[in-house]
Chain A
Amino acid sequence: MISYIIRRILYVIPLLLAVSIVCFVIIQLPPGDFLTAIESQLKSQAGLSEEESRKMVDEMRKTYGLDKSMPVQYLIWIKNIVTKGDFGYSFGYRKPAQEVIWERLKWTMIIALSAHLISTLVGLLIGIYSATHQYSLGDHLSTFLAFIGLSFPEFFTALVIMYLLVFRFRVPHVGGLSSPEYVLATWNWAKFVDFLQHFWIPVVISGVAGVARNMRVMRANLLDVFRSQYVITARAKGLKERIVLYKHAVVNALHPIIAYQGVALPYIVQGTMVTAIVLNLPTTGPAFYDALVFQDTLLAGSFLLMVTVVLVIGNLLSDLILAWIDPRIRYD
Chain B
Amino acid sequence: MDKQNEILLEVKNLKKYFPITRGVFRRVVGYVKAVDRVDLFIRQGETLGLVGESGCGKTTLGRSILRLIEPTDGEVWFKTGKGKKLDITKLEDREIKSLRREMRMIFQDPYASLNPRMTVMDIVGEPLIIHKVAQGKEIEDRVRTLLKIVGLNPRYMRRYPHEFSGGQRQRIGIARALALNPRLVIADEPVSALDVSVQAQVINLLENLQVQFNLTYLFIAHDLSVVYHISNRIAVMYVGKIMEVGQAEEVYQGPRHPYTEALMSAVPVIDPDVKPERILLQGDVPNPANSPSGCTFHPRCRYAKKICSQEEPPLEDIGDEHYVACHFADDFSLKGIRQF
Tell me the residues in window 193-245 of chain A with beta carbons closer than 8 Å to chain B beta carbons.
Answer: none
Secondary structure class of chain A's binding surface, majority of residues: helix
In whole angstroms, what is the CA distance A10 to B24 when docked? 10
Nearest-neighbor residue (CB-CB) of B25 within chain A = A7
A7, closest chain B residue (CB): B24
For residue A137, CB closer than 8 A to chain B, the reply is: no
B319 contacts the other chain (Cβ, under 8 Å)? no
Note all chain B residues with C-beta closer than 8 A to A17: none
B residues less than 8 Å from A10 (CB atoms)? 24
In the assembled complex, B283 has its CB within 8 A of some CB on chain A: no
CB-contacts of A5-41 with B (<8 A) = 6-7, 10
> Contacts of B23 on A, CB cut-off 8 Å?
3
- Say whether chain B's binding surface is mostly helix, strand, loop, or mixed: loop
* Docked complex Cα distance between A6 and B24 (Å): 8
Q: Smallest distance from the beta carbon of B133 to chain A beta carbons, Å? A: 42
Point out the residues of chain B lying under 8 angstroms from A7, CB to CB: 24
| A331 smallest CB distance to B (angstroms) | 9
Q: How many residues of A contact B (CB 8 A)?
A: 4
List, in ascending order, chain B residues with CB within 8 A of A3's CB.
Answer: 23-24
Residue on B with the closest CB to A3? B24
CB distance from A2 to the nearest CB of B (A): 9
Specify the chain B residue showing the minimal Cβ separation from A10.
Answer: B24
Q: B308: shortest Cβ distance to chain A, in Å?
A: 37
Q: Smallest CB–CB gap between B21 and chain A, Å?
A: 9
CA distance A10 to B25 in the complex (A): 11
Q: How far is the CA of A3 from the CA of B29 in the complex (A)?
A: 15
In angstroms, how far is the closest chain A Cβ from the Cβ of B25?
8
Residues of B2-37 at the interface with A, using a CB-CB cut-off of 8 Å, are: 23-24
Among A83-135, those with CB < 8 Å from B are: none
CB of A13, distance to nearest CB on chain B (Å): 14
Residue of B nearest to A6 (CB): B24
**Binary per-residue interface labels of chain B (205-230) against chain A in the complex, 1 for a CB within 8 Å, 0 otherwise:** 00000000000000000000000000
B297 to chain A, nearest CB (A): 32
List B contacts of A6 (CB < 8 A).
Answer: 24
Q: Could you tell me which residues of chain A, from 139 to 165, have a CB within 8 Å of some CB in chain B? A: none
Q: Complex Cα distance A161/B23, Å?
A: 55
**Which residue of chain A lies nearest to B23 when distances are taken between CB atoms in the complex?**
A3
In the assembled complex, the Cα of A69 lies from the Cα of B24 at a distance in Å of 39
- Give chain B nearest CB distance to A300 CB in angstroms: 37
Complex: A7 Cα to B24 Cα, angstroms? 6
User: Considering the chains assembled together, what is the distance between the CA atoms of A83 and B149 in angstroms?
Assistant: 78
Tell me the complex Cα distance, A206–B245, Å.
75
Docked Cα-Cα span, A3 to B24, in Å, equals 5
CB closest residue in chain A, given B21: A331
Cα A7 to Cα B23 with chains together (Å):
9
A-B contact pairs, 5 of them (CB 8 A): A3-B23, A3-B24, A6-B24, A7-B24, A10-B24
Q: Which 4 A-B pairs have the closest CB atoms?
A: A3-B24, A7-B24, A3-B23, A6-B24
